[in-house]
């Protein structure tokens, strides 16, 4: 049970597990436990736009798996969502498990958090589960330290579809044609193609560090640098007026306009279908995300699978896969307190603006080195997080549950 039809992080993660397990089951190798897969929409509202952007084979599979009939007393239910959606839910959604805990054979809560701890209410909900699956060592530590029963917490990493996100299969997407120019002076298509492309993908919220990215980029570069920054973003409890938000941020921060003029910034706020995501990454020279905290970071591992060098904050979920050999880990300057929202009072990272400036310049000036890190990133994704690897881990846990 997951937000399969909603889009967003939990949705894409849930699909990555389902697709991996579905392929794994087809292999029919000796020792692979036999079970049927069923799915149910849960946790978020459905998005027609997201559904229409899914490849036909996934739509077909979704329809098939939705028809799976389950007897609860023979079913392992995975509640793949934030704990507030678990039975009884704190907001309007189909609860997971649907009829409470008594009728189900085994219930797994699959979740994560982007801060240094877990809320007491969520700790209580985790401890009602038979098992709690989290994606990284960072989460194992933070959940246990927050009070979740250590015997219930299991690390199950996420898969990334390295066959779908394969740079050899795609031509670049024309990002400028679907983006709005926010800063800088419009240039010709031929001049634009000569520029080094930084790409960032995030929903518009403080946690994602868009302010850190803009500060570093606008301090480090100017019009005379052959560089462009594309921001693929979408609203998160805000309107879509991203152009004005950026202009207002620059004015409020009292940033001095370089003598040569501002470097180019484009915003892409239209929906990019799942089938076009690899082409988007293919169009970039590097991926950058100075996030304050991540559960996992789907766009990061997708970019790494596409052999992109990545500059990402070296804290929280991404520490599971960032290394000096496969990326440019961005140092944390300090920890800061979350000032609003459900995580108020928690701590998360404040990435270094000056170090981000230096790393972006370094990647641009040392692109052969950066491409080598990108190649290593793809190798690491294949070796550690390919669907067949993670499906083997998941089925191993299911076999263990069945045996117990």
Q: Is residue 82 part of a domain?
A: yes
Same domain, 233 and 299: yes
Q: Is residue 56 part of a domain?
A: yes
Q: Is residue 1 part of a domain?
A: no
Instruction: Supply the range of the domain harboring residue 46.
Output: 9-158+386-403
Q: Which CATH number is 393's domain given?
A: 3.40.50
Same domain, 358 and 398: no
Alpha carbon distance 111, 10 (integer Å): 9
Percentage of the chain surpassing pLDDT 90? Answer: 78
The per-residue pLDDT for range 170-208, each reduced to its tens digit, is: 999 999 999 999 999 888 888 888 899 999 999 999 999
Catalogue the E-assigned strands of 211-289: 227-235, 264-268, 286-289
Same domain, 366 and 270: yes
- Quote the pLDDT of residue 329: 98
Q: Is residue 2 part of a domain?
A: no
* Alpha helices for 290-386 (secondary structure H): 298-305, 353-365, 367-385
Q: Is residue 99 part of a domain?
A: yes
Same domain, 206 and 353: yes
Task: Identify whether the C-beta of residue 109 lies closer than 8 Å to the C-beta of residue 126.
Answer: yes
Q: Is residue 3 part of a domain?
A: no
Same domain, 118 and 182: no
Pick the range with the lowest mean pLDDT from 16-20, 21-25, 128-132: 21-25
Same domain, 64 and 198: no
Q: Which CATH number is 265's domain given?
A: 3.40.50.2000
- Quote the pLDDT of residue 49: 85
Same domain, 222 and 118: no
- Quote the pLDDT of residue 393: 95
* Alpha helices for 27-55 (secondary structure H): 48-52
- Quote the pLDDT of residue 342: 83
How far the first Cα of the chain sits from its last, in Å, is: 23
Pick the range with the lowest mean pLDDT from 220-229, 267-276, 360-369: 267-276
The number of folded domains in the chain is 2
Catalogue the E-assigned strands of 11-144: 76-80, 106-110, 131-134
The per-residue pLDDT for range 344-369, each reduced to its tens digit, is: 999 999 999 999 999 999 999 999 99
Strands 106-110 and 180-183: unpaired
- Quote the pLDDT of residue 200: 98
Same domain, 102 and 144: yes
Same domain, 118 and 259: no
Same domain, 95 and 199: no
Residue 223 has pLDDT above 80, yes or no: yes
Q: Is residue 26 part of a domain?
A: yes
Same domain, 69 and 92: yes
Same domain, 379 and 390: no
Mean of pLDDT over the chain: 93
The per-residue pLDDT for range 26-37, each reduced to its tens digit, is: 876 676 667 899
Higher pLDDT, 75 or 26: 75
Three-class SS of residue 173? Answer: coil
In this prediction the pTM is 0.93
Instruction: Respond yes or no on whether the N-terminal peptide bond of residue 41 is cis (omega within 30° of 0).
Output: no
Q: Is residue 4 part of a domain?
A: no
Q: Return all residues near 289 (Cβ < 8 A) that are at least 6 apart.
A: 200, 201, 202, 208, 209, 213, 297, 299, 300, 310, 311, 312, 313
């Amino acid at each position: 049970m997951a937000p399969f039809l909603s889009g967003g992080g939990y949705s894409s993660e849930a699909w990555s597990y389902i697709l991996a397990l579905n392929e794994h089951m087809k292999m029919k190798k000796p020792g692979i436990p036999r079970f049927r897969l069923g799915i149910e929409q849960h946790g978020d509202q459905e998005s027609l736009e997201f559904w229409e952007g899914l490849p036909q084979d996934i739509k077909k599979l979704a329809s098939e798996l939705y028809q799976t009939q389950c007897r609860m007393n023979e079913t392992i239910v995975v509640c793949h969502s934030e704990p507030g959606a678990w039975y009884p839910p704190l907001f309007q959604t189909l609860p997971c498990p649907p009829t409470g805990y008594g009728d189900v054979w085994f219930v797994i809560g699959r979740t994560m958090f982007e801060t240094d701890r877990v809320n007491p209410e969520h700790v209580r909900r985790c401890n009602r589960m038979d098992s709690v699956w989290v994606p990284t060592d960072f989460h194992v530590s933070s959940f246990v330290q927050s009070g979740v029963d250590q015997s219930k917490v299991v690390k199950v990493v996420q898969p990334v579809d390295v066959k779908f996100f394969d740079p050899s299969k795609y031509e670049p997407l024309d990002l400028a044609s679907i983006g709005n120019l926010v800063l800088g002076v419009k240039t010709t298509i031929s001049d634009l193609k000569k520029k080094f492309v930084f790409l960032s993908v995030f929903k518009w919220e403080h946690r994602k560090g868009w302010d850190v990215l803009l500060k570093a980029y606008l301090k480090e570069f100017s019009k005379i640098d052959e560089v462009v920054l594309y921001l693929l973003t979408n609203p998160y409890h805000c309107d879509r007026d991203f152009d004005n938000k950026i202009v207002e941020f620059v004015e409020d921060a009292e940033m001095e306009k370089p003598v040569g003029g501002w470097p180019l910034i484009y915003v892409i706020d239209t929906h990019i279908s799942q089938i076009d995501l690899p082409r988007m990454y293919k169009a970039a020279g590097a991926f950058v995300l100075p996030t304050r905290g991540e559960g996992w970071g789907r766009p990061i591992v997708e970019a790494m699978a596409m052999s992109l060098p990545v500059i990402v904050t070296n804290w929280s979920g991404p520490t599971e896969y960032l290394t000096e050999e496969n990326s440019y880990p961005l140092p944390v300057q300090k920890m800061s307190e979350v000032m609003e929202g459900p995580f108020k009072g928690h701590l998360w990272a404040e990435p270094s603006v000056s170090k981000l400036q230096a790393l972006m310049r370094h990647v641009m000036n040392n692109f052969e080195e950066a491409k080598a890190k990108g190649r290593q990133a793809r190798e690491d994704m294949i070796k550690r997080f390919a669907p067949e690897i993670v499906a083997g881990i998941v089925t191993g846990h299911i076999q263990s549950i069945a045996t117990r």
